[in-house]
Structure 1
């Protein structure tokens, strides 16, 4: 493990520059996907500016985090590590707020009957709560390993990737009108991860283990969602939020 870590932290300047540029470009891909996903929901009339205050607050929270992620990768790409580290304090606090308010918003969405018609309340609850758990685990690990840049940037990439399920879900799920199509969202997320793995192998000669942790977390997220969502106790619990 030490040898692997050293191979990613050391090396010539050119591979590191390419790596920093790569993650900044991937952040722009995330930004484009988010604009497309949420723009599509506005276009078909599912989302609107007349939504309750907590929907707007949740949207600002998510968009704000995406903006911070793009900014952080840009700062690293241009070599401004000092500002990147100072903003990291804000990012850490934002992560806590995102998870706490996100989990509350999920239950509120069920309570007000605002979930998409192709979701059952139990599936929606498990899918989104577990997604928050995956984000918290990956982002928390990234922050704890902030002094090991190879792990830090890849785990934060994984955390951001988990959130992108929301954007890709808006683009994919309405086409099938079936909650089981979340598997296709997973395929798209793993395709993004595959690009990052391929970059590692091409530039560093091996895939960093952090990417395997991200892939495993995403697979567990979907597997556990399908496993738990149909259980009577979970169905009853999810229904309790709807009164």
Structure 2
């Protein structure tokens, strides 16, 4: 997404790659969550905070697509105005991503295809990585080629939950996280391939953005499978039902249909 960018000089046609891929990313999100609803795994009876989380994250998808549409149509005034809103919206996403994850862990409701500690670590790290890429993109707003690539990588990070709803996650245990992460990498790799074909080399925006995405996955694994991850889990879950859950053991398969946000106490 482009948020706070300098005007694009007239006569320069913005690349269609970013518009096309923004629509493709939105399609992945819509497909994933539509499948979740069609399979009966989503409920409008979920706690209010789950709905707020959904509105905030879906809102970002809409913002991302709109910003690319504005660039493609040279509507830069609208692009800049929405950009200031997007900057604040990104902060809301970090807050909601962390809050909902912590509440799920404390309620003992981590998805059964992840160990609870893995879920607790990778979800916040994903939104922190998104925030870092978004902040870097805003800082580079006057360097359009950097700006759009950093936002692109930031958006790609957010696709993991959508891919997780499209993939047969129970069948992927114990590699559910690794598989969804590889799916996320499809978009950064497409960007790199596009750069190589069109420019003859990879723009540093994609090099740095993809490196940060990879680094977040490596850090996730390093923390999860170390005493640090267990210690974090114990602190977060203390005094809650989640404290009685083994942090590094996969929860049992649910005996009833899995419904997102099924416990009001979450």
Match of 1:128 in 2: 123
Residues 1:132 and 1:228: Cα distance change in structure 2 (over 3 Å): same
The alpha-carbon deviation at position 173 of structure 1 amounts to: 5.2
The alpha-carbon deviation at position 118 of structure 1 amounts to: 1.6
Distance in 2 separating the partners of 1:63 and 1:138:
18
Are 2:9 and 1:17 equivalent residues in the alignment? no
- Ranges in structure 2 where 5+ consecutive residues have no aligned partner: 1-7, 244-266
Residues 1:179 and 1:90: Cα distance change in structure 2 (over 3 Å): farther
Residues 1:164 and 1:73: Cα distance change in structure 2 (over 3 Å): same
Match of 1:236 among 234, 237, 258: 234
**TM-score calculated relative to the size of structure 2:** 0.81
**RMSD value, Cα:** 2.2
Distance in 2 separating the partners of 1:173 and 1:183:
13
The alpha-carbon deviation at position 114 of structure 1 amounts to: 3.0
Q: Greater helix percent: which structure?
A: 1
Match of 2:28 in 1: 33
Partner deviation per Cα, 1:212-231 (whole Å, 9 max, x = no partner): 11221221222221221132
Distance in 2 separating the partners of 1:149 and 1:213:
15
Distance in 2 separating the partners of 1:12 and 1:212:
28
The alpha-carbon deviation at position 116 of structure 1 amounts to: 1.2
Residues 1:101 and 1:39: Cα distance change in structure 2 (over 3 Å): same
The alpha-carbon deviation at position 45 of structure 1 amounts to: 2.4
Match of 1:165 in 2: 160
**TM-score calculated relative to the size of structure 1:** 0.88
User: Structure 1 residues 187-196 or 159-168, which shifts more?
Assistant: 187-196
The answer (yes or no) to whether the contact 2:188–2:206 under 8 Å persists in 1 is yes
User: Secondary structure of the residue that 2:167 maps to in structure 1?
Assistant: helix
User: Secondary structure of the residue that 1:36 maps to in structure 2?
Assistant: helix
Aligned residues: 232
Distance in 2 separating the partners of 1:76 and 1:114:
41
The alpha-carbon deviation at position 18 of structure 1 amounts to: 5.5
Are 2:113 and 1:113 equivalent residues in the alignment? no
Residues 1:73 and 1:148: Cα distance change in structure 2 (over 3 Å): same
Distance in 1 separating the partners of 2:168 and 2:124:
18
The alpha-carbon deviation at position 179 of structure 1 amounts to: 4.9
The alpha-carbon deviation at position 44 of structure 1 amounts to: 2.5
User: Secondary structure of the residue that 2:13 maps to in structure 1?
Assistant: helix
Match of 1:154 in 2: 149
Residues 1:106 and 1:220: Cα distance change in structure 2 (over 3 Å): same
The answer (yes or no) to whether the contact 1:68–1:91 under 8 Å persists in 2 is yes
Match of 1:216 in 2: 211
Distance in 2 separating the partners of 1:162 and 1:26:
14
Which 4+ residue blocks in structure 1 deviate beyond 6 angstroms? none
Distance in 2 separating the partners of 1:156 and 1:77:
16
